[in-house]
Amino acid sequence: MFGLIDGNNFYVSCERAFDPTLAGKPIIVLSNNDGCAIARSAEAKALGVKMGEVWHLSKRRPEFRGIIAKSSNYALYGDMSRRVYEVLTERFNRVEPYSIDEMFLGLTEFARTDYCRRVRDQVRRVTKIPTCVGIGPTKTLAKLANRRAKKVVAMEGVCDFSNDDARRQAFHEMPIDEIWGIGGASQAKLNNLGIFTVEEFAALPSASVRELMTVTGQRTHAELNGVSCMPLTMAPGQRKTVSVTRMFGRPVETWEDMREALATHAARAAEKTRKHDLVATAMQVFFHTSPHAPEPFFNAQRSFEIEPTNDSFAIIRHAVTAGRSMWRPGLRYQKAGIILPDLHLAADAPRDLLPTRDPERSEKLMATLDGLNSRFGRGTIRPGGIRPKTAWGTRANNKSPAYTTKLADLMVVHAL
Amino acid sequence: MGERAYRGDDTTGFQSPAQDHIEAVPDLAELLELRRPQRFAVRVKGDGLKKRGIHSGDILVVNTDAEPRTGKVCVAFVHGDVVLAVLTEKDGRWWLEPSNHAPQPVADDTEVWAMIAALVRTDV
């Protein structure tokens, strides 16, 4: 049996955990660069803030006046996610962290509604994060039960679909877009055929689902009917790409600023590559102006192969050289990015017969760089040409402290 | 930091007799159980609990999973403030006694956030 536990408005709950002034107020958390709403408290949802709402366009609307918009604080959310995971591993043998705010659980036959309700209380007490739990014989059913637990207050945060009768009744009322993996095009397709509820979808013959929605849809359909097709996966699959792309805090107009942005993104991409013991064999570099600006849109992009490496200096050099060759002055650039699209395990990477760098020396230098940065904080040691604070840096105007990971940022407790 | 990491083991001339016995410095994060999900470090501001040995600037390591006990110091949310208070039980009800004002009953807009577990002071 599977469980799915997820944090209610997770990012908002992380903010509220350390700031009692946020209780009961409409709160949203904005994406990188303070762009769009990516988490909303119940109060903010009630005021009509949509997921993905572009905040700088909407914030002046009179009904949104009282909303508190926080910049995203991923150092905090990541650590809180870890804490939730650790509490769960004390209560369940198998926990799969599926995303930062949802974990699949392997449930024994004794762990049902009451047990999950106690775990939910414990997660709340220990981490301050309110959650909901869905239970079902497949991942898709556990996820669907979780949706229902969120919606139906009387369930007190836990919905159990392990029993066939219990779920049949709910299926009748639930629209198909509540199903994990169904939305957009597939929803429209099904609606056109007069299929609106989970009950109607589950009753379709398997073969016609395959015809309509390929194998993925067929798998979803089987899981809804209680046939488990997706086991718990305990380790993430090997990463195949790394991308570091950012909107600028304000438009970049000089090559010096662009060069530095590309170097910073390249250094971060190289660091991520090393973290997974991978090497890059190809690279994409791009930057573009705003598609919404009155001036014509300009988009520069290059893809090319590189000698297999995860050396920050090599990757920076490639990025800057490619960027320079595409640079066009006199424009206002809005975004730049580095993508390493073809990663291989360092151990089985193709070795050049005549490498242009001493691989052993590079490996040692990079290990030192990563060691210092992990010990003293990201950015302690930076390849030349990357300044600690920059004009183009990402906007984060209302970011809370890194309460749980930085000594300078600890929650202050008043003893007056 | 030198040009390379030397930990008492990897000498250039005479082989270090300590090379198979190298240990790291004591890990205070381990002592304080900082990696456990219920442990949080917080910073004290104000000397109101000096009589309990807690000074302004101290780091307290708190436990969000500990049972509340009468007479113990806790971190609490009280009307939107984060405060340090002594927790007491009287006639089956829990009260918070912040040093500066009257005891508050633990009720809807007050929350016991964590109990104090350890104290770190670096300016002794």
Map out the domains of chain A as residue ranges.
2-155, 163-224, 242-376
Q: How far apart are the first and last CA of chain A?
A: 51
Mean residue pLDDT of chain A comes to 90
Using a CB–CB cutoff of 8 Å, tell me whether B48 touches chain A. Answer: yes
The torsion angle over the Cα atoms of residues A197, A199, A201 and A202, rounded to 10 degrees, is 160
Domain A2-155 and domain A242-376 have a common topology: no
Q: Distance (Å) from the C-alpha of residue B91 to the closest C-alpha of chain A?
A: 24
Using a CB–CB cutoff of 8 Å, tell me whether B54 touches chain A. Answer: yes
With cut-offs at 50, 70 and 90, classify the pLDDT of residue A32. Answer: confident
Residues of chain B with pLDDT under 50: none
The pTM (predicted TM-score) of the whole model is 0.80
Using a CB–CB cutoff of 8 Å, tell me whether B22 touches chain A. Answer: no
Residues B96 and B89 sit within 8 Å (Cβ to Cβ): no
Class of domain A242-376: alpha beta
Across the interface, whether the CB atoms of B36 and A20 are under 8 A apart is answered: no
Write the single-letter amino acid at A102.
Answer: E
Residues 63-122 of B with CB under 8 A from A: 64-65, 75, 77, 80-84, 98-100, 111, 113
Q: Which string of DSSP letters, residue by residue, matches A227-240? A: --------SPPPP-
Across the interface, whether the CB atoms of A412 and B43 are under 8 A apart is answered: yes
A2-155 to CATH, choices 3.90.1170.50, 3.20.20.140, 3.30.70.270, 3.30.1240.10: 3.30.70.270
Across the interface, whether the CB atoms of A410 and B41 are under 8 A apart is answered: yes
Enter the CATH code of domain A163-224. Answer: 1.10.150.20
H/E segment holding residue A314: helix A312-326
Q: In chain B, which residues have their Cβ closer than 8 Å to the Cβ of A415?
A: 44-49, 54, 56, 83-84, 98-99
Q: Distance (Å) from the C-alpha of residue B82 to the closest C-alpha of chain A?
A: 5
- % residues pLDDT > 70 (chain A): 93
Using a CB–CB cutoff of 8 Å, tell me whether B16 touches chain A. Answer: no
List, for residues A249-270, the tens digit of each pLDDT value.
888 999 999 999 999 999 999 9
Across the interface, whether the CB atoms of A414 and B45 are under 8 A apart is answered: yes
Residue A354: pLDDT above 70?
Answer: no
Q: What is the mean pLDDT of residues A410-414?
A: 97
List, for residues A170-192, the tens digit of each pLDDT value.
999 999 999 998 988 889 999 99
List, for residues A226-246, the tens digit of each pLDDT value.
999 999 987 777 778 899 998
- pLDDT the model gives residue A390: 61
Please choose, from the candidates A121, A145, A289, A284, the residue with its C-alpha nearest in 3D space to the C-alpha of residue A223: A145
Residue A380: pLDDT above 80?
Answer: no
Q: What is the mean pLDDT of residues A109-113?
A: 88
Q: How many CB pairs under 8 A join A and B?
A: 79
List, for residues B17-52, the tens digit of each pLDDT value.
998 899 989 999 999 999 999 999 999 999 999 999
Angle at A98 between CA A93 and CA A102, to 5 degrees: 90
CA distance B79 to A271: 44
Nearest CA in chain B to A17: B113
Across the interface, whether the CB atoms of B45 and A415 are under 8 A apart is answered: yes
- pLDDT the model gives residue A382: 66
